[in-house]
Structures are given as C-alpha cells and as structure tokens.
Amino acid sequence: MIRFEHVTKRYPDGTTAVDDLSFEVAEGELVTLVGPSGCGKTTTMMMVNRLVEPTSGRVLVDGQDIADVDPVALRRKIGYVIQQVGLFPHRTVLDNTATVPALLGWKKAAARARAAELLDLVGLDPAVYGSRYPAQLSGGQRQRVGVARALAADPPVLLMDEPFGAVDPVVRERLQNEFLALQATVRKTVLLVTHDIEEAVRMGDRMAVYGQGRIEQFDAPATVLGAPATPYVADFVGSDRGLKRLAVTPVTEADLEPVPAGGPAATDTPGSRDGAPDPVPLGTSLKDALAVLLQHDKGRLMVTGDDGRPLGVLTPEGVHRALRRASAPAPAPAS
C-alpha cells in the first residue's frame, strides 16, 4: 500500500534527513517508525502526503508514484494525526471532527452525522462532548478527537506522528489500547512515528528501527526484540528485551503439552498454597500467562481454545520454546 524505493531527502541546508530508504507497508498493516530524535522519522512520514518532497527515489501509494498525484487529492486519502493535534480552538468538537467531510463537500447534516459516529467510535459521547470546545477537554480527549477527525473521511491510509506523546503514561496506555481495538475493526494502513520503544513494540505489526537517516531493522516486534539485527538495535531496544518480548508473544498450540489423563483438575499440585489458577485462552501473551503461573505457585497452566475447552498445558519449558519460536526471523511479506 505504501512503498519507498531508494528515497533520499536532503534539506537545502545540506542535512541528509533520510538516506536511500526502501521499505513497504502492506494494506491494513500498522508499522511503527521508532528511533531517537532527529533520525528522520517525521521526514519519512511527510514524504507520504507530500508535505516534504524526496530529493531522489520514489514513494508509491496504492501502486501509484505520488509525484504524479495532485497533493490535495492525495491528502484526501490519507488521514494525519499529530502530537499537537491542531484542533480549531473556536470550533466545537463536532465541527472539528466534521472538518474533512465538510471540505469534501458533504451536506452539513451528513458531515455532522459522520462526525458523531466517529466520536462514538473513539469513546467520546457526541451528546456530551460534541458541543464542547477543545479547551474544555483533557489532553487525552483532545487526542481522541484528533484520531476521530483523521478517520472521518474514511481514508485508507493513516499517518500518526507521536500521536500519544503529549499525555501522561496512564492515559497513553489507554489511548494505545483504544486505538488498537479501533484498528482491529477499521484496518487502515498505518504509519505511526514514536521515539518510545515500548509503544513501537506494543502497537506495531512490524516496526522500523531507525539509525541516523536509515532503517537498521524492519521486522515483527518479537523478532526485533529476540534477534536484533545490529548492535545498535540491540542497544536501542534495551537490556530487558526478553521481558518486552514476552508481552508481544502469544501462547500457541505448539507450546502446549497434552492435558493429563485425569482431566484439568490433575494439573493441581497437592499441597499448593491456593486452588488451581483459572485457565487462560489461547492467544494470551506469554507475559500474562507467566504472571498467572508465578502468582499461583504452579508449574502448569491450563490453556483453553475458542470454545472454552481445555487444549493443553503450558509449563515454563513451553514458555521458553515459545520465545525461541518468536525470535526466529519472520518471512518477508509478499510485495
């Protein structure tokens, strides 16, 4: 859906912000661009909606070289969320959200109905918040309005530049989770810029780890954490990467041992300090599964399938096997 081909950007003062960048984002994929300040993330993103033009190389959106596409027409297909949100202070939340449909010439009633629908989708009751002004919202609520506004015209592509950077860690985590739930239904092609490795790992289907103007590794988060491509990446993802990897690796059937002959109850160890832990469903993160294992002083944990029936038993050895599996290099996506 988005394709960079040998893209270089040199600013007039001679700064090379991006150097021979090539990568591809599949339709419906969320890719995070992560790296230290000044490494070229925002420049990369702005070359997708032509706020910045490449010095050399090509950027394609939906198979089309965007150098040949009228920037205004291009931006209609691309939602844009930035940290400072950029809401109009003298317009209500509803009118802010309806901005793009209104620009596209929708009838006022239709634009407002769509705006109300989007506010609902990002967790803001339009009856309560629609008539407020941006100054009457918390930072997290303003950020939600920014997301609603970017989605209002239903663009296939969404660019998000440090979208949750301005709010405190608790609100940030809530916004991240809300956005992931939203993305599971709307399935946009998303580029999300962040300098926060945790955010990149949590949000990305894949992540691009930037060095100075270059991508050092472009892989699934579990692979970046488990098998950093370069010493730079290893250093950037930090020394507790094993723990971070646990959080992004789900329990699969291959990690389980058979349910014991005596049924689920047989996983109870006689004399343990409490009852059997509740089973966890397949797909639970290893981090959560391990937490349950440790909390209950058990060496075994029942894992259930979609139908709620026991599928098998997870042990610490299974957790280790799962980590091994998760750090194997991911296959390259089809282009």
Ligand X SMILES: Nc1ncnc2c1ncn2[C@@H]1O[C@H](COP(=O)(O)OP(=O)(O)O)[C@@H](O)[C@H]1O
**Interacting residues with ligand X (CB under 6 A):** 11, 13, 15, 17, 37-43
Least distance (Å) between residue 204 CB and ligand X? 16
Report DSSP state, residue 257: B
Amino acid at 193: V
Contact of residue 37 among ligand X, Mg ion, none (CB under 5-8 Å per partner type): ligand X
Six token digits for residue 229 = 């491509």
Least distance (Å) between residue 212 CB and ligand X? 8
Choice between 235 and 297, CB closer to ligand X: 235
Report DSSP state, residue 136: G
Q: What CA–CA distance (Å, rounded) separates 60 from 77?
A: 13
Neighbours of 279 (CB within 10 A): 19
Choice between 216 and 255, CB closer to ligand X: 216
Contact of residue 39 among Mg ion, ligand X, none (CB under 5-8 Å per partner type): ligand X
Contact of residue 13 among ligand X, Mg ion, none (CB under 5-8 Å per partner type): ligand X
Contact of residue 101 among Mg ion, ligand X, none (CB under 5-8 Å per partner type): none
Q: What CA–CA distance (Å, rounded) separates 78 from 287?
A: 35
Choice between 84 and 131, CB closer to ligand X: 84
Q: In sequence order, which residues have a C-beta less than 8 Å from that of residue 257 and are 6 or more positions away?
A: 312, 313, 314, 315, 318
Least distance (Å) between residue 333 CB and ligand X? 24
Choice between 40 and 101, CB closer to ligand X: 40
Least distance (Å) between residue 44 CB and ligand X? 7
Least distance (Å) between residue 46 CB and ligand X? 8
Q: Which of 32, 42, 141, 327 is close enough to bind Mg ion by CB under 5 A?
A: 42
Q: What CA–CA distance (Å, rounded) separates 212 from 37?
A: 9
Least distance (Å) between residue 236 CB and ligand X? 13
Tell me which residue has tokens 């799962």. Answer: 322
Confirm if 79 and 157 have CB atoms less than 8 A apart. Answer: yes
Contact of residue 197 among ligand X, Mg ion, none (CB under 5-8 Å per partner type): none
Report DSSP state, residue 229: S
Choice between 42 and 267, CB closer to Mg ion: 42
Please provide residue 171's backbone torsions phi and psi, each rounded to the nearest 5 degrees: -65, -40
Tell me which residue has tokens 């920037």. Answer: 71
Contact of residue 160 among Mg ion, ligand X, none (CB under 5-8 Å per partner type): none
Choice between 11 and 88, CB closer to ligand X: 11
β-bridge partners, 314: 301
CA 290: distance to chain centroid? Answer: 24
Chain positions contacting Mg ion, by CB under 5 A = 42
